[in-house]
Amino acid sequence: MVNSSLIRKILIYFVYTMIIVCFQVSFPEVLTFNHQVADLMFVYVCLVGYFFGIKDGLIIGAVVGICRDVLATPILVGLDGKANTFYGIGLIVLLLISFFSANFFTKQTKRKFTFAMVDVIVMTVLYKSVGNIFVWLYNVLIVGNQYTVTLSQVLLDSITTQFIINFICAVPIYLLLRFVGPYKGGINPVLLNRTEFGGDDTWLTI
Amino acid sequence: MVLCATLLLIAIVIFGAIPNSPVRKLVKPINAVVSPIQKLIKNGGDALDDFFASIKDGIAIREENKELRSEIAELQYVITQNEEARIRYEELKDAFHIKDSFSTYDIYGASILSRDADEWFSIIRVDIGQKDGLSVEDGSSLAVVDVQMNLLGRVIETEADSSKILPLTHEGFTVIGKVNEVNGAIVTVVGDSNLKNQGLCLVTGIDENTVPEVGTEIVTSGDGGLFPQGVPIGVIESVDTTNPLKITATLRPYTQIGSVKDLFIMVPLVTDEGETEVTSVETVEGDANG
The domains found in chain A, sorted by start residue, are 8-187 (1.10.1760)
Q: Does residue B46 form part of some domain? A: yes
What residue in A sits closest to B6 (Cα-Cα)? A92
A29 in B contact zone (CB under 8 Å): yes
The least confident of A27-36, A153-162, B140-149, B266-275 is B266-275
Distance (Å) of CA B138 to CA B17, B157, B158? 12, 9, 11
A-to-B residue pairs, Cβ atoms closer than 8 angstroms: 166
* B130/B238 same-domain check: yes
Q: Does residue B83 form part of some domain? A: yes
What whole-number distance in Å separates Cα of residue A13 and Cα of residue A138?
Answer: 35
A69 in B contact zone (CB under 8 Å): yes
Q: What angle do CA B113, B164, A84 make, to 5 degrees?
A: 150
Residue A198 is predicted with a pLDDT of 43
Query: Which chain B residues are Cβ-neighbours of A91 within 8 angstroms?
Result: 9
Q: Indicate the length of chain A as a whole number.
A: 206
Residue A145 has pLDDT above 80, yes or no: no
* B80/B192 same-domain check: no
Query: Which chain A residues are Cβ-neighbours of B38 within 8 angstroms?
Result: 18, 21-22, 25-26, 71
Q: How crowded is residue B186: how many other Cβ atoms within 10 Å of its Cβ?
A: 16
* B130/B202 same-domain check: yes
Q: Do A87 and B24 touch (CB under 8 A)?
A: yes
* B80/B214 same-domain check: no
Residue A26 is predicted with a pLDDT of 87
Smallest Cβ–Cβ distance between A73 and the set B42, B164, B172 belongs to B164
Residue A203 has pLDDT above 90, yes or no: no
Q: Does residue B212 form part of some domain? A: yes
Query: Which chain A residues are Cβ-neighbours of B113 within 8 angstroms?
Result: 25-26
Smallest Cβ–Cβ distance between A77 and the set B13, B117, B171 belongs to B171
* B69/B101 same-domain check: no
Better-scored residue on pLDDT, B281 or A50: A50
Residue A129 is predicted with a pLDDT of 92
- Answer yes or no: is the ipTM higher than 0.85: no
Q: Does residue B209 form part of some domain? A: yes
Query: Which chain A residues are Cβ-neighbours of B9 within 8 angstroms?
Result: 88, 91-92, 95
Which domain covers residue B20, as residue numbers?
2-91
* B40/B137 same-domain check: no
Q: Indicate the length of chain B as a whole number.
A: 290
A33 in B contact zone (CB under 8 Å): no
Rounded to a whole number of angstroms, the distance from the CA of A171 to the nearest CA of chain B is: 19
Q: Does residue B285 form part of some domain? A: no
What are phi and psi for residue B110, nearest 5 degrees? -150, 155
* B209/B130 same-domain check: yes
Which among A68, A90, A85 is positioned nearest to A21, based on CA atoms?
Answer: A68
Q: Does residue B145 form part of some domain? A: yes
Query: Which chain B residues are Cβ-neighbours of A74 within 8 angstroms?
Result: 120-123
Counting the structural domains of chain B, the total is 2
What residue in B sits closest to A145 (Cα-Cα)? B171
Rounded to a whole number of angstroms, the distance from the CA of A206 to the nearest CA of chain B is: 30
Residue B97 is predicted with a pLDDT of 56
Predicted confidence pLDDT, tens digits, chain B (290 residues): 777 888 888 877 777 777 777 777 777 788 888 888 888 888 888 888 888 888 888 888 888 888 888 788 788 878 888 888 888 777 776 666 555 666 778 888 888 888 877 778 878 999 898 888 888 876 678 999 988 889 999 998 888 888 999 999 888 888 999 998 888 899 999 988 778 878 899 999 998 888 899 999 999 988 877 888 889 999 999 999 888 888 999 999 999 888 888 889 988 887 665 555 544 333 333 344 44
Q: Does residue B278 form part of some domain? A: no
* B134/B237 same-domain check: yes
For residue A55, count CB atoms less than 10 angstroms from its CB and return exposed for 0-12, middle for 13-18, buried for 19 or more.
middle
* B136/B262 same-domain check: yes
* B43/B111 same-domain check: no
* B106/B161 same-domain check: yes
What whole-number distance in Å separates Cα of residue B233 and Cα of residue B217?
Answer: 8
For residue B245, count CB atoms less than 10 angstroms from its CB and return exposed for 0-12, middle for 13-18, buried for 19 or more.
exposed
* B75/B171 same-domain check: no
- The residue of A87, A89, A142 whose CB has the most chain B CBs within 10 angstroms, and thus the best one to mutate to test that interface, is A87
Q: Does residue B288 form part of some domain? A: no
Residue B283 is predicted with a pLDDT of 37
Residue A205 has pLDDT above 50, yes or no: no
Overall average pLDDT of the A84-111 stretch: 87
Query: Given B35, B65, B91, which residue is the final one in a domain?
Result: B91
